[in-house]
Chains A and B, each alone.
Chain A
Amino acid sequence: MRRRLKKYLIFMRSGFQTVLAYRGMLLLWFIGALVSAVLMGLVWWAIYSFSPQSMIAGYAFPQMLMYVILSAVVGEVIYTDTMGSITDDVRWGLIGMRLMKPINYRVQLGFSAVGDFLARILLIGVPVLTAGTLIVVFGFGLGGIQWYNILLFLPACFLSALMFDAFGFLFGQLAFRTQAMFGVASMSQIVISFLSGGVVPISLFPAWAQTALTYTPFPTLVSLPVRIFLGQVGWTEMLIAFAISIAWIVGLNVINHFAYKSSVKHVVVFGG
């Protein structure tokens, strides 16, 4: 067991080192995401200045600003590249070699995603979150953030990264059947981001949509870590939410296991 684990830990290290090697690229992507966050902040500023109430969907302006920053950070740190790895492996014909090795392809990608997440949270998550929180707390008067909420935000993000990796593997398997992975990737990312509260808080959705979403894994993906950071989740709710997260991760991986058994039969290896 220990030997097997050691074998896969190499992939985790490799995922970590890959992000470090391309840190410049990651930083540029993140600057793009940060620009979007600032601009969304301006959109909300316009909305709040015309709102008859100071709270919108349970958020005052400083909280909404923090929500926008946090959702950008969560989006960047949890969006591991499992789907992209499968797509590249299929496109460049590497999948043949991957499947021949005495290594479980799914587990390898999972460990790689964990390394990817750890590097992202260290390089991007911690510094940007610190700066963003200081700006919103001291510049816009946001209160109510506790140290334990910040600490609990990290395991919540980790669970989200595992869930996103499971989604990535699920949709990534389509690479065995279609060439249009750019479309699949962009559509799945925007749908997941929208439904998980990555674009706007879920409390802005109509009541029926909020109820429907509670039966899906999406709210635990972005909304949960962000709400934990903002101190909007009580202890009991948090424990239940973590349990639901873990259950969804296990469930999605079980689905992946069976879907992969079918998908792998469609593998076509290019070149050689």
Chain B
Amino acid sequence: MLKELKLYPKYVSMSLRSGLSYKADSFIMMISFAVTEVISLATVYLIVGSVPQIGIWSFNALAFLFGFILVPKAIDHIFTDELWILAYWAIRRGELDIYLTRPLNPLYQFVAKTFKWDGIGEFVVGIVIMCIFAPISGIAWSFSSVTVLILCGFFGIFGFTGIKLIFASLAFWLKTSGIILNTVYNLSGYAKYPLKYMGKAFMSIMFYVVPFGLMLYYPIECLITGANAWWSVLWSSIAAVALMTIGLTVWTIGIRRYDSSGN
């Protein structure tokens, strides 16, 4: 573990240097992620703006929720984007061979080799939106509520990573699982809407099956209603541990049956 930690800055530096040799490309990617999210927020505005209020949710509160979701999503994007490659191509093209011959954890090597600094675009948009809407979101700010937000954001990162790891690792069996991962991952986009009013069945799925709702939506709902938000920290941490455990288990079982397709 210590060896991996020591090596990580070297991996980041390698990835940054290779990224910086295509500065314009990285800049285009960063802008494109930022523009995509701004358009997403405009969509929420147009939809939600058609009614004065959706129960406890005003547009300002939903915009804050939108910004909050972007932050863990962006951090996960920056550190573990390579999992998309696992889901789409790595198994089919036999790209894992090289990682199995080195004396380092293969998952660590695979994930660490890419540091996607273009995710900073999403991160900045998320932070800016949060800063703009925090004072008008209807949340009673205190040291406790800020701590809750930081902790839930932190666990949220592992929520995204866990889901990606679980469904990307299915590629060990299916050869390619990108479309399935894409469909499940996109559910996170619906945590920015008022789940409370979108039907019990869907809310249950978003809380107990693919817990983006539990980890991203529920903390903000607690902060808005004034409910004890520390429960959301507890549930988020449990969900993060559960998702990462399942993800690592699926990866471990999957990599044992990995069979190189050659290249």
**Do A and B belong to a common assembly?**
yes
A204 lies within 8 A of B179 (CB): no
B29 lies within 8 A of A32 (CB): no
How many residues of A are counted as interface, with CB atoms below 8 angstroms from the partner's CB atoms? 35
A42 lies within 8 A of B198 (CB): yes
How many residues of B are counted as interface, with CB atoms below 8 angstroms from the partner's CB atoms? 39
A213-256 toward B: CB 8 Å interface, digit per residue (1/0)? 00000000000000000000000000000000000000000000
A186 proximity list for chain B (CB < 8 A): 32, 36
A32-66 toward B: CB 8 Å interface, digit per residue (1/0)? 10011001001111110111100011000000000
In the docked arrangement, what's the CA distance between A164 and B139, Å?
44
Chain B residues 44-89 with CB under 8 Å of chain A are 46-48, 50-55
* Contacts between chains A and B (CB distance < 8 A), count: 96
Of the listed stretches B182-190, B223-231, B250-258, name the one at the interface; the rest are far from the partner chain.
B182-190
In the docked arrangement, what's the CA distance between A142 and B22, Å?
52
B170-204 toward A: CB 8 Å interface, digit per residue (1/0)? 00000000011011001100100110011100100
Nearest-neighbor residue (CB-CB) of B179 within chain A: A28
User: CB of B118 within 8 A of chain A?
Assistant: yes
B32 proximity list for chain A (CB < 8 A): 180, 183-184, 186-187
A50 lies within 8 A of B47 (CB): no
B50 lies within 8 A of A191 (CB): no
User: CB of A25 within 8 A of chain B?
Assistant: yes
Q: What's the least CB distance linking A239 to chain B, in Å?
A: 29
In the docked arrangement, what's the CA distance between A204 and B179, Å?
31
A50 lies within 8 A of B183 (CB): no
Q: What's the least CB distance linking A36 to chain B, in Å?
A: 6
User: CB of B42 within 8 A of chain A?
Assistant: yes
In the docked arrangement, what's the CA distance between A190 and B41, Å?
12
User: CB of A194 within 8 A of chain B?
Assistant: yes
Secondary structure call for the A interface: helix
Contact of A51 among B28, B42, B51, B202 (CB under 8 A): B51
Q: What's the least CB distance linking A267 to chain B, in Å?
A: 17
Knowing A46-B54, A182-B29, the reply to whether A39 touches B202 (Cβ < 8 A) is: yes
Nearest-neighbor residue (CB-CB) of A199 within chain B: B43
A190 lies within 8 A of B39 (CB): yes
In the docked arrangement, what's the CA distance between A49 and B52, Å?
12
Q: What's the least CB distance linking B208 to chain A, in Å?
A: 17
B28 lies within 8 A of A184 (CB): yes
B182 lies within 8 A of A180 (CB): no
Nearest-neighbor residue (CB-CB) of B183 within chain A: A32
B183 proximity list for chain A (CB < 8 A): 28, 31-32, 35
B50 lies within 8 A of A194 (CB): no
A178 lies within 8 A of B182 (CB): no
User: CB of A270 within 8 A of chain B?
Assistant: no
Q: What's the least CB distance linking A264 to chain B, in Å?
A: 20
B190 lies within 8 A of A39 (CB): yes
User: CB of B24 within 8 A of chain A?
Assistant: yes
B35 lies within 8 A of A47 (CB): no
B25 lies within 8 A of A204 (CB): no
A184 proximity list for chain B (CB < 8 A): 28, 32
B31 lies within 8 A of A183 (CB): yes
B198 lies within 8 A of A46 (CB): yes
Nearest-neighbor residue (CB-CB) of A202 within chain B: B46
B39 lies within 8 A of A180 (CB): no
User: CB of B33 within 8 A of chain A?
Assistant: yes
Q: What's the least CB distance linking A208 to chain B, in Å?
A: 14
Q: What's the least CB distance linking A50 to chain B, in Å?
A: 5
A200 lies within 8 A of B179 (CB): no
B28 proximity list for chain A (CB < 8 A): 178, 180, 183-184
User: CB of A29 within 8 A of chain B?
Assistant: yes
B47 lies within 8 A of A200 (CB): yes
A50 lies within 8 A of B51 (CB): yes
Residues of chain B at the chain A interface (Cβ within 8 Å): 22, 24-26, 28-33, 35-36, 39-40, 42-43, 46-48, 50-55, 118, 179-180, 182-183, 186-187, 190, 193-194, 197-199, 202
Residues of chain A at the chain B interface (Cβ within 8 Å): 25, 28-29, 31-32, 35-36, 39, 42-47, 49-52, 56-57, 178-180, 182-184, 186-187, 190-191, 194, 199-200, 204-205
Additional A-B contact list (15), CB under 8 Å, known A35-B186, A47-B54: A28-B183, A32-B183, A35-B183, A46-B54, A46-B197, A49-B197, A50-B54, A50-B197, A56-B50, A179-B25, A180-B26, A183-B30, A184-B28, A200-B46, A204-B46
